[in-house]
Chain A
Amino acid sequence: EAQVTQNPRYLITVTGKKLTVTCSQNMNHEYMSWYRQDPGLGLRQIYYSMNVEVTDKGDVPEGYKVSRKEKRNFPLILESPSPNQTSLYFCASSLSTQGDTEAFFGQGTRLTVV
């Protein structure tokens, strides 16, 4: 089954404790991205990757890091989480880098930073 898998689904952590949210896709997609979803704001892009070792900032990259060492994996790293990073996070992948194909989304990671 074609899917994007994120882990963990739920995470409660304390301010400053480094964490990683994993994302993996099995569709051989070139393009992957991370979004955060906040009430009333829709989804906003954090980082994206067009291919292995090619990543760039989205609209809200502050406080986040990513890496793309393999085509299928695109982890999101919070080096020093803060309460304003409490949010619902989604990883997504798409076949095309031209923006004309649909994105496949993971099930989301609900992060709470206390």
Chain B
Amino acid sequence: AQSVAQPEDQVKVAEGNPLTVKCTYSVSGNPYLFWYVQYPNRGLQFLLKYITGDNLVKGSYGFEAEFNKSQTSFHLKKPSALVSDSALYFCAVRDWGGYNKLIFGAGTRLAVHP
């Protein structure tokens, strides 16, 4: 079965420190991977995606993610966290068994403290 796992419900970091939000996936076929962010009372916003090519993907707001095929991971990273990065982050993978459907992880709440 195709799935996405975000092993941490919550990640806490200090402002200015690097942050990592973890994601692992299981999919039959080529992995199309996405990260979305949800701020309070807002819809999900696209951050970045991996479809093919370079394993290091750069996205919005200074975020990047590294695709690792052998570890089936797609961790989200940022070199220096901001308090305004505090939000709920979702990893998602295209489900090849369903037409253009995304399978989402349960989400990781990132808390950046001053």
Binding site for B on A (CB under 8 A): 4, 31, 33, 35, 40-45, 48, 50, 56, 58-59, 90, 92, 94, 96-100, 102-108
Q: Are B100 and A99 in contact (CB under 8 A)?
A: yes
Known: A40-B106, A43-B90, A100-B32. A90 touches B100 (CB 8 A): no
C-alpha spacing A40/B41, complex, angstroms: 17
C-alpha spacing A90/B51, complex, angstroms: 24
A-B contact pairs, 20 of them (CB 8 A): A4-B43, A33-B100, A33-B101, A35-B104, A42-B4, A42-B104, A42-B106, A43-B90, A43-B92, A43-B104, A45-B101, A45-B102, A50-B100, A90-B43, A92-B44, A94-B100, A99-B94, A99-B101, A103-B102, A105-B36
- What number of B residues sit within 8 Å (CB to CB) of A? 24
Closest to A4 in B: B43
C-alpha spacing A108/B41, complex, angstroms: 8
Residues from chain A with a CB closer than 8 A to the CB of B49 are 100, 102
Q: Told that A44-B104, A59-B101 touch, could you supply 15 new A-B pairs with CB distance under 8 A?
A: A4-B43, A33-B101, A43-B102, A45-B102, A48-B101, A90-B44, A94-B100, A99-B101, A102-B34, A102-B49, A103-B34, A104-B46, A105-B45, A106-B43, A108-B42
| Contact of B107 (CB < 8 Å), options: A31, A42, A104, A107 | A42
Residues from chain A with a CB closer than 8 A to the CB of B90 are 42-43
**Minimum C-beta distance from A26 to chain B (A):** 15
C-alpha spacing A15/B107, complex, angstroms: 29
Closest to A44 in B: B104
Residues from chain A with a CB closer than 8 A to the CB of B45 are 105
**Minimum C-beta distance from B74 to chain A (A):** 15
Q: Are B105 and A103 in contact (CB under 8 A)?
A: no
Closest to A38 in B: B106
